[in-house]
Amino acid sequence: MAILRAQEASSSSSSASGHRYQVFLSFRGKDTRKTFTDHLYTALVQAGIHTFKDERELQRGKNIANELHKAIEESKIALIVFSRNYASSEWCLNELVGILERKKTMGLTVIPVFYDVQPSHIRHQTGSFGEAFSVREKLVFESKEEEDMKIEKWREALGEVADLGGMVLQNEADG
């Protein structure tokens, strides 16, 4: 939270700088939506940090992919919660690629949170991250070349974000 508050204090208000959200929260819903991510979102909101969370901000009847892309563009910081099954979600991986593109082109600040996973598993795609890619690579696609390019982008994005300074948290009852 201190990092986010310091970021906010060092710049003008979000709306004045063209940002609709201070934080874009990226996470694998099945893993953390009703636990860690809900607690994190609540803490951010209580600290006065305007945060995008899909179920709260997505408008019904709108294209989800377009709305997520727009929210990423309108955010100052992307907080990515990596969990064990993150890489099994094509949505999450595509969102990650979009976040890193925005980081390169517009200076989006990216802060990874490694929730019950090690950054090295993400960097090298081992453990549950390696398993997710093994499953995906065994599937038969109409356009193998296009799928291979997509997988390579995902691998590169995971490697890049695993090298960023972040927070490593274990899923513990007292943690």
Residue 115 falls inside a structural domain:
yes
- Residue 97, CA distances (Å) to 43, 50, 153, 172 in order: 26, 23, 7, 29
Active site residues: 95
Residue 129: CATH number of its domain? 3.40.50.10140
Range of the structural domain that residue 56 is part of:
18-169
Residue 13 falls inside a structural domain:
no
Confidence of residue 10 (pLDDT cuts 50, 70, 90): very low
**Token pair for residue 131?**
């398993």
pTM recorded for the entire structure: 0.81
State whether residue 113 is helix, strand or coil.
strand
Residue 153 falls inside a structural domain:
yes
46 and 17 in contact (C-beta within 8 Å)?
Answer: no
Domains in the chain, number: 1
Residue 1 falls inside a structural domain:
no
Amino acid identity, residue 6? A
**Token pair for residue 20?**
């609709």
Residue 112 falls inside a structural domain:
yes
Confidence of residue 58 (pLDDT cuts 50, 70, 90): low
**Sequence-separated (6 or more) residues with CB below 8 Å from residue 84:** 31, 116, 117, 127, 128
Residue 10 falls inside a structural domain:
no
